[in-house]
Amino acid sequence: MAQTATTFLYVYGICAATDIGETEKPELKGIGGGPVKISMYNDLAAVLTEVDGEVFCQEQIDRQVKDADWLKKHAFHHHETVAFFQLQFPLMPMSFCTIFEQDNKLQTLLTNQHDDIMRKLDYLRGKEEWNIKMFCSPELLRDFVQHKNPSVVSLEQEMGAMPKGKQFLMKKKLAMLVETELEREKNELWLQAITRLEPMMTAQLLRQNWGRDMTDVTEEMVANCDVLIKKEDDDKFFKAIESIEEDMKEKGCLFHVTGPWPPYHFSKLEKDNAQ
Amino acid sequence: MKQFSPFENKEVTLLDLLDGIIDTGVVIRGEILISIADIDLIIVDLKLLISSIESAFENSSRKIIEEVVDRGTLIFG
Protein backbone atom coordinates (compact mmCIF):
# COMPACT_ATOMS: atom_id res chain seq x y z
CA MET A 1 0.00 0.00 0.00
CA ALA A 2 1.41 3.39 -0.94
CA GLN A 3 2.17 5.69 1.96
CA THR A 4 0.29 8.94 2.14
CA ALA A 5 2.29 12.15 2.10
CA THR A 6 1.96 12.55 5.84
CA THR A 7 2.86 9.02 6.98
CA PHE A 8 6.32 8.73 8.51
CA LEU A 9 8.21 5.75 9.90
CA TYR A 10 9.10 5.73 13.59
CA VAL A 11 12.02 3.32 14.05
CA TYR A 12 12.70 1.59 17.41
CA GLY A 13 15.75 -0.37 16.37
CA ILE A 14 17.67 -2.36 13.79
CA CYS A 15 18.47 -6.07 13.87
CA ALA A 16 19.88 -8.81 11.65
CA ALA A 17 17.18 -10.63 9.67
CA THR A 18 18.76 -14.00 10.50
CA ASP A 19 18.36 -13.35 14.25
CA ILE A 20 14.60 -12.95 14.04
CA GLY A 21 13.72 -16.57 13.24
CA GLU A 22 10.60 -17.76 15.00
CA THR A 23 10.34 -14.69 17.17
CA GLU A 24 7.11 -14.14 19.00
CA LYS A 25 5.28 -11.36 17.13
CA PRO A 26 2.48 -10.11 19.36
CA GLU A 27 0.16 -7.30 18.36
CA LEU A 28 2.05 -4.40 19.92
CA LYS A 29 0.63 -0.93 19.56
CA GLY A 30 3.12 1.64 18.28
CA ILE A 31 3.80 5.16 19.47
CA GLY A 32 1.26 6.61 17.05
CA GLY A 33 -1.44 3.97 17.67
CA GLY A 34 -0.68 1.76 14.63
CA PRO A 35 0.87 -1.72 14.91
CA VAL A 36 4.59 -2.31 15.53
CA LYS A 37 6.05 -4.21 12.57
CA ILE A 38 9.32 -5.84 11.61
CA SER A 39 10.26 -4.75 8.09
CA MET A 40 12.94 -6.64 6.19
CA TYR A 41 15.66 -4.83 4.27
CA ASN A 42 17.71 -7.66 2.72
CA ASP A 43 19.63 -9.22 5.60
CA LEU A 44 18.80 -6.38 8.02
CA ALA A 45 15.42 -5.64 9.60
CA ALA A 46 13.87 -2.62 11.31
CA VAL A 47 11.38 -2.64 14.18
CA LEU A 48 9.09 0.25 13.31
CA THR A 49 5.61 1.70 13.22
CA GLU A 50 3.87 4.14 10.91
CA VAL A 51 3.03 7.52 12.43
CA ASP A 52 1.09 10.57 11.32
CA GLY A 53 3.57 13.05 9.88
CA GLU A 54 1.54 15.98 11.15
CA VAL A 55 1.73 14.73 14.74
CA PHE A 56 5.35 13.54 14.60
CA CYS A 57 6.87 16.48 12.78
CA GLN A 58 9.79 18.44 14.22
CA GLU A 59 7.65 21.35 15.39
CA GLN A 60 5.14 19.14 17.21
CA ILE A 61 7.80 17.00 18.86
CA ASP A 62 9.77 20.01 20.04
CA ARG A 63 6.57 21.27 21.65
CA GLN A 64 5.49 17.93 23.11
CA VAL A 65 8.77 16.95 24.77
CA LYS A 66 8.31 19.97 27.02
CA ASP A 67 5.10 18.39 28.28
CA ALA A 68 6.34 16.11 31.07
CA ASP A 69 3.31 13.81 30.90
CA TRP A 70 3.70 13.30 27.15
CA LEU A 71 7.43 12.75 27.51
CA LYS A 72 7.10 10.25 30.34
CA LYS A 73 4.40 8.23 28.60
CA HIS A 74 6.12 8.10 25.23
CA ALA A 75 9.66 7.62 26.55
CA PHE A 76 8.52 4.55 28.47
CA HIS A 77 6.62 3.28 25.45
CA HIS A 78 9.80 3.59 23.37
CA HIS A 79 11.85 1.83 26.03
CA GLU A 80 9.34 -0.96 26.66
CA THR A 81 9.05 -1.69 22.95
CA VAL A 82 12.83 -1.76 22.48
CA ALA A 83 13.26 -3.90 25.60
CA PHE A 84 10.59 -6.37 24.47
CA PHE A 85 12.33 -7.07 21.17
CA GLN A 86 15.80 -6.90 22.66
CA LEU A 87 14.91 -9.83 24.92
CA GLN A 88 14.32 -11.91 21.81
CA PHE A 89 17.19 -10.92 19.52
CA PRO A 90 20.12 -8.46 19.43
CA LEU A 91 18.70 -5.05 18.61
CA MET A 92 20.56 -1.83 17.98
CA PRO A 93 18.21 0.63 19.70
CA MET A 94 17.47 3.95 18.08
CA SER A 95 17.05 7.21 19.96
CA PHE A 96 13.67 8.37 21.12
CA CYS A 97 11.81 9.90 18.17
CA THR A 98 13.98 8.57 15.37
CA ILE A 99 11.68 9.15 12.43
CA PHE A 100 12.15 8.67 8.71
CA GLU A 101 10.15 10.63 6.20
CA GLN A 102 10.15 7.86 3.61
CA ASP A 103 10.80 4.15 3.53
CA ASN A 104 13.43 4.55 0.79
CA LYS A 105 15.46 6.87 3.07
CA LEU A 106 15.65 4.11 5.66
CA GLN A 107 16.46 1.58 2.96
CA THR A 108 19.29 3.74 1.62
CA LEU A 109 20.71 4.23 5.06
CA LEU A 110 20.67 0.53 5.88
CA THR A 111 22.36 -0.22 2.57
CA ASN A 112 25.04 2.43 2.98
CA GLN A 113 25.88 1.51 6.57
CA HIS A 114 25.22 -2.20 6.25
CA ASP A 115 28.68 -3.46 7.25
CA ASP A 116 29.03 -1.11 10.23
CA ILE A 117 25.59 -2.08 11.52
CA MET A 118 26.33 -5.79 11.15
CA ARG A 119 29.62 -5.38 13.01
CA LYS A 120 27.88 -3.49 15.80
CA LEU A 121 25.15 -6.13 16.09
CA ASP A 122 27.82 -8.85 16.34
CA TYR A 123 29.54 -6.82 19.04
CA LEU A 124 26.32 -6.44 21.04
CA ARG A 125 25.25 -10.07 20.72
CA GLY A 126 25.08 -11.81 24.12
CA LYS A 127 25.80 -8.61 26.07
CA GLU A 128 23.72 -6.27 28.18
CA GLU A 129 24.05 -2.76 29.54
CA TRP A 130 23.98 -1.93 33.26
CA ASN A 131 24.33 1.37 35.07
CA ILE A 132 26.37 1.63 38.27
CA LYS A 133 26.02 4.59 40.59
CA MET A 134 28.51 4.82 43.42
CA PHE A 135 27.70 6.96 46.46
CA CYS A 136 29.81 7.95 49.47
CA SER A 137 28.78 9.33 52.82
CA PRO A 138 30.63 12.66 53.08
CA GLU A 139 30.61 12.43 56.89
CA LEU A 140 32.05 8.92 57.10
CA LEU A 141 34.61 9.57 54.40
CA ARG A 142 35.69 12.82 56.06
CA ASP A 143 36.02 11.01 59.37
CA PHE A 144 38.13 8.37 57.68
CA VAL A 145 40.39 10.95 56.01
CA GLN A 146 40.79 12.95 59.23
CA HIS A 147 41.80 9.94 61.29
CA LYS A 148 43.39 7.46 58.90
CA ASN A 149 44.73 9.27 55.84
CA PRO A 150 48.56 8.98 56.04
CA SER A 151 49.24 12.56 54.84
CA VAL A 152 46.73 14.05 57.27
CA VAL A 153 47.89 11.91 60.21
CA SER A 154 51.52 12.74 59.44
CA LEU A 155 50.84 16.51 59.35
CA GLU A 156 48.92 16.30 62.62
CA GLN A 157 51.83 14.52 64.25
CA GLU A 158 54.24 17.18 62.98
CA MET A 159 51.94 19.86 64.33
CA GLY A 160 51.90 18.21 67.74
CA ALA A 161 55.60 18.94 68.09
CA MET A 162 55.28 22.61 67.03
CA PRO A 163 54.95 25.66 69.28
CA LYS A 164 51.34 26.77 69.91
CA GLY A 165 51.60 29.80 67.63
CA LYS A 166 52.78 27.78 64.66
CA GLN A 167 50.16 25.11 65.37
CA PHE A 168 47.50 27.77 64.98
CA LEU A 169 48.89 28.81 61.59
CA MET A 170 49.15 25.22 60.43
CA LYS A 171 45.50 24.50 61.21
CA LYS A 172 44.45 26.18 57.95
CA LYS A 173 46.93 24.08 56.03
CA LEU A 174 45.57 20.95 57.71
CA ALA A 175 41.99 21.87 56.78
CA MET A 176 43.02 22.37 53.14
CA LEU A 177 44.87 19.07 53.14
CA VAL A 178 41.76 17.27 54.43
CA GLU A 179 39.70 18.73 51.57
CA THR A 180 42.29 17.76 48.95
CA GLU A 181 42.65 14.25 50.34
CA LEU A 182 38.87 13.90 50.50
CA GLU A 183 38.58 14.51 46.75
CA ARG A 184 41.55 12.26 46.03
CA GLU A 185 40.02 9.53 48.18
CA LYS A 186 36.72 9.66 46.25
CA ASN A 187 38.52 9.30 42.92
CA GLU A 188 40.69 6.54 44.32
CA LEU A 189 37.68 4.60 45.64
CA TRP A 190 35.99 4.64 42.23
CA LEU A 191 39.24 3.65 40.54
CA GLN A 192 39.59 0.70 42.91
CA ALA A 193 35.98 -0.35 42.28
CA ILE A 194 36.14 -0.17 38.50
CA THR A 195 39.52 -1.94 38.42
CA ARG A 196 37.99 -4.89 40.28
CA LEU A 197 35.02 -4.94 37.88
CA GLU A 198 37.05 -4.61 34.68
CA PRO A 199 37.60 -8.37 34.13
CA MET A 200 33.81 -8.76 33.77
CA MET A 201 33.27 -5.74 31.51
CA THR A 202 33.47 -5.33 27.75
CA ALA A 203 33.15 -1.54 27.78
CA GLN A 204 32.43 1.34 30.13
CA LEU A 205 31.28 4.93 29.71
CA LEU A 206 31.41 7.41 32.55
CA ARG A 207 28.49 9.84 32.77
CA GLN A 208 28.26 13.06 34.76
CA ASN A 209 27.36 12.66 38.41
CA TRP A 210 23.95 13.77 39.58
CA GLY A 211 23.43 16.22 42.43
CA ARG A 212 21.50 15.23 45.53
CA ASP A 213 18.41 17.03 44.22
CA MET A 214 18.16 14.43 41.46
CA THR A 215 18.62 11.33 43.57
CA ASP A 216 16.71 9.87 46.49
CA VAL A 217 19.96 9.29 48.33
CA THR A 218 21.51 11.33 51.13
CA GLU A 219 25.02 10.20 50.20
CA GLU A 220 26.99 12.01 47.51
CA MET A 221 27.27 10.45 44.06
CA VAL A 222 30.92 9.90 43.18
CA ALA A 223 30.52 7.90 39.95
CA ASN A 224 27.78 7.28 37.37
CA CYS A 225 28.95 4.69 34.88
CA ASP A 226 27.34 2.61 32.11
CA VAL A 227 28.95 -0.75 31.52
CA LEU A 228 28.51 -3.47 28.92
CA ILE A 229 28.87 -7.02 30.22
CA LYS A 230 28.38 -10.52 28.87
CA LYS A 231 25.05 -11.97 29.98
CA GLU A 232 26.70 -15.02 31.49
CA ASP A 233 28.81 -12.77 33.75
CA ASP A 234 25.77 -11.28 35.53
CA ASP A 235 26.23 -13.22 38.77
CA LYS A 236 29.98 -12.61 38.96
CA PHE A 237 29.37 -8.92 38.32
CA PHE A 238 26.81 -8.54 41.13
CA LYS A 239 28.90 -10.54 43.59
CA ALA A 240 31.92 -8.39 42.79
CA ILE A 241 29.94 -5.20 43.48
CA GLU A 242 28.62 -6.61 46.76
CA SER A 243 32.13 -7.54 47.78
CA ILE A 244 33.47 -4.07 46.88
CA GLU A 245 30.65 -2.45 48.84
CA GLU A 246 31.46 -4.57 51.88
CA ASP A 247 35.16 -3.69 51.65
CA MET A 248 34.40 0.03 51.40
CA LYS A 249 31.70 0.11 54.08
CA GLU A 250 34.00 1.88 56.53
CA LYS A 251 34.15 4.82 54.12
CA GLY A 252 30.38 5.00 53.70
CA CYS A 253 30.26 3.73 50.10
CA LEU A 254 27.19 2.16 48.55
CA PHE A 255 26.21 1.13 45.05
CA HIS A 256 22.99 1.30 43.03
CA VAL A 257 22.85 -0.90 39.97
CA THR A 258 20.14 -0.51 37.30
CA GLY A 259 19.45 -2.81 34.40
CA PRO A 260 19.60 -4.73 32.27
CA TRP A 261 19.11 -1.88 29.80
CA PRO A 262 19.05 -2.23 26.04
CA PRO A 263 22.54 -1.13 24.91
CA TYR A 264 21.53 2.52 24.53
CA HIS A 265 24.98 3.86 25.36
CA PHE A 266 26.94 1.32 23.33
CA SER A 267 25.06 1.42 20.03
CA LYS A 268 26.62 4.42 18.40
CA LEU A 269 28.30 3.87 15.10
CA GLU A 270 30.78 6.69 15.53
CA LYS A 271 34.35 5.51 15.34
CA ASP A 272 35.24 6.99 18.73
CA ASN A 273 32.65 4.93 20.59
CA ALA A 274 33.96 2.46 23.14
CA GLN A 275 34.35 -0.87 21.40
CA MET B 1 24.05 -2.95 46.86
CA LYS B 2 20.63 -1.91 45.65
CA GLN B 3 19.49 -3.29 42.33
CA PHE B 4 16.71 -1.71 40.26
CA SER B 5 15.00 -2.99 37.16
CA PRO B 6 14.21 -0.41 34.47
CA PHE B 7 10.54 -1.46 34.87
CA GLU B 8 10.46 -1.52 38.65
CA ASN B 9 10.18 2.07 39.71
CA LYS B 10 9.32 4.46 36.95
CA GLU B 11 10.26 7.59 38.88
CA VAL B 12 13.69 6.32 39.88
CA THR B 13 14.60 5.05 36.43
CA LEU B 14 13.00 7.76 34.29
CA LEU B 15 16.03 10.04 34.47
CA ASP B 16 18.33 7.17 33.54
CA LEU B 17 16.02 6.22 30.72
CA LEU B 18 15.97 9.71 29.25
CA ASP B 19 19.72 9.89 29.64
CA GLY B 20 19.90 6.72 27.57
CA ILE B 21 17.34 7.18 24.85
CA ILE B 22 17.70 10.86 24.14
CA ASP B 23 20.67 11.82 22.05
CA THR B 24 23.11 9.20 23.29
CA GLY B 25 21.33 6.43 21.43
CA VAL B 26 21.40 8.20 18.09
CA VAL B 27 22.83 5.67 15.73
CA ILE B 28 22.42 7.05 12.28
CA ARG B 29 22.31 10.80 12.24
CA GLY B 30 22.63 11.45 8.55
CA GLU B 31 19.13 10.55 7.47
CA ILE B 32 17.21 11.31 10.60
CA LEU B 33 14.47 13.77 9.99
CA ILE B 34 13.71 14.55 13.59
CA SER B 35 15.91 14.83 16.62
CA ILE B 36 15.68 16.50 19.97
CA ALA B 37 18.28 19.03 20.90
CA ASP B 38 17.24 20.71 24.11
CA ILE B 39 18.06 18.03 26.66
CA ASP B 40 18.56 20.48 29.51
CA LEU B 41 15.04 21.74 29.19
CA ILE B 42 13.71 18.20 29.16
CA ILE B 43 15.47 17.40 32.40
CA VAL B 44 14.10 20.52 34.05
CA ASP B 45 10.57 19.58 33.07
CA LEU B 46 11.15 16.10 34.33
CA LYS B 47 12.36 17.31 37.71
CA LEU B 48 9.18 19.33 38.04
CA LEU B 49 7.18 16.25 37.17
CA ILE B 50 8.92 14.07 39.73
CA SER B 51 8.56 16.69 42.44
CA SER B 52 4.84 17.06 41.84
CA ILE B 53 4.28 13.31 41.83
CA GLU B 54 6.08 12.86 45.10
CA SER B 55 4.19 15.78 46.64
CA ALA B 56 7.57 16.88 47.85
CA PHE B 57 7.20 20.39 46.63
CA GLU B 58 8.42 22.09 49.78
CA ASN B 59 9.83 25.58 49.84
CA SER B 60 13.45 24.50 49.64
CA SER B 61 13.00 22.23 46.65
CA ARG B 62 10.75 24.77 44.96
CA LYS B 63 13.53 27.32 45.32
CA ILE B 64 16.06 24.95 43.75
CA ILE B 65 13.77 24.24 40.83
CA GLU B 66 12.96 27.90 40.31
CA GLU B 67 16.67 28.69 40.23
CA VAL B 68 17.21 25.89 37.79
CA VAL B 69 14.41 27.04 35.52
CA ASP B 70 15.72 30.58 35.72
CA ARG B 71 19.16 29.45 34.62
CA GLY B 72 17.66 27.24 31.96
CA THR B 73 19.69 24.21 32.88
CA LEU B 74 19.86 21.64 35.60
CA ILE B 75 23.40 20.85 36.53
CA PHE B 76 24.33 17.23 37.01
CA GLY B 77 26.65 16.70 39.94
Residues A147 and A262 in one domain: yes
- The answer to whether position A88 is within a domain reads yes
B42, B69 contact by CB (below 8 A): no
Number of domains comprising chain A: 2
Which domain range does residue A25 map to? 7-125
A174 and A85 in a single domain? The answer is no
**Predicted pLDDT at B9:** 59
| ipTM for this prediction | 0.73
**Is A18 inside any structural domain?**
yes
Instruction: Give buried/exposed letters for A66-99 (b at 16+ CB in 10 A, else e).
Output: eebeebbebbbbbbebbbbbbeebbbbbbbbbbb
A59 shares its domain with A175? no
Length of chain B measured in residues: 77
Looking at residue A246, its pLDDT comes to: 96
Residue A192 lies in a domain: yes
pLDDT attached to residue A45: 95
**In this predicted structure, what is the pLDDT of residue A132?**
96
Is the domain of A84 the same as that of A62?
yes
Q: Does the beta carbon of A268 lie under 8 angstroms from any beta carbon of chain B? A: yes
Does any CB of chain A come closer than 8 Å to the CB of residue B1? yes
A236 and A222, same domain (yes or no): yes
> Is A228 among the domain residues?
yes
Q: Are residues A53 and A119 in the same domain?
A: yes
| B39: confidence class by pLDDT, cuts 50, 70, 90 | very low
Residues A100 and A230 in one domain: no
The answer to whether the CB atoms of B5 and A258 lie below 8 A apart is yes
CA distance B70 to chain A (A): 16
Taking 70 as the threshold, does the pLDDT of residue B52 lie above it?
A: no
Nearest to A213 among B2, B16, B64 (CB): B64
Domain with residue A168: its CATH number is 3.30.70
- Among A98-107, A171-180, B9-18, B45-54, where is mean pLDDT lowest? B45-54
Is A72 touching B (CB cutoff 8 A)? yes
Average pLDDT over residues B20-26: 55
The answer to whether position A2 is within a domain reads no
Interface of B with A in 10-49 (CB under 8 A): 10, 12-28, 30-36, 38, 41-42, 45-49
Instruction: Clarify whether residues A180 and A247 are in a common domain.
Output: yes
Is the CB of B70 inside 8 Å of chain A's CB atoms?
Answer: no
pLDDT averaged over every residue in chain B: 50
Please report whether residue A32 resides in a domain.
yes
Span A51-110, pLDDT tens digits: 998 888 877 887 787 777 788 888 889 999 999 999 889 999 988 888 888 888 888 889
Q: What's the confidence (pLDDT) of residue A274?
A: 38
Note the pLDDT of residue A29: 94
E-only strand ranges, chain A: 7-16, 37-41, 44-52, 92-93, 99-100, 127-136, 201-207, 220-230, 253-261
pLDDT category at B57 given cuts 50, 70, 90 is: very low
Identify the pLDDT of residue A199: 94
pLDDT reported for residue A103: 86
pLDDT at A72: 80
Of the partner residues A79, A224, A255, the one whose CB lies closest to the CB of residue B6: A79
End of a domain among A125, A143, A173? A125
Q: What is the DSSP string of A78-146?
A: HHHHHHHHHTTS--EEPPTT-EES-HHHHHHHHHHTHHHHHHHHHHHTTEEEEEEEEEE-HHHHHHHHH
Is A90 a domain residue?
Answer: yes
* Stretches in chain A below the pLDDT threshold 50: 1, 3-4, 271-275
Based on the fold, state whether residues A102 and A140 are members of the same structural domain.
no
Q: Is the whole-model pTM more than 0.80? A: no
Question: Are A188 and A118 members of one domain?
Answer: no
Q: Does B56 touch chain A (CB under 8 A)?
A: no
Query: Which of A93, A125, A157 marks a domain boundary?
Result: A125
Same domain, A211 and A149: yes
A17 and A53 fall within a common domain = yes
8 Å CB contact of B28 and A113: yes
Q: Is residue A212 part of a domain?
A: yes
Partner B contacted by A104 (CB < 8 A): no
* Domain end residue (candidates: A125, A143, A166): A125
How confident is residue B68, by pLDDT bands cut at 50, 70 and 90? very low
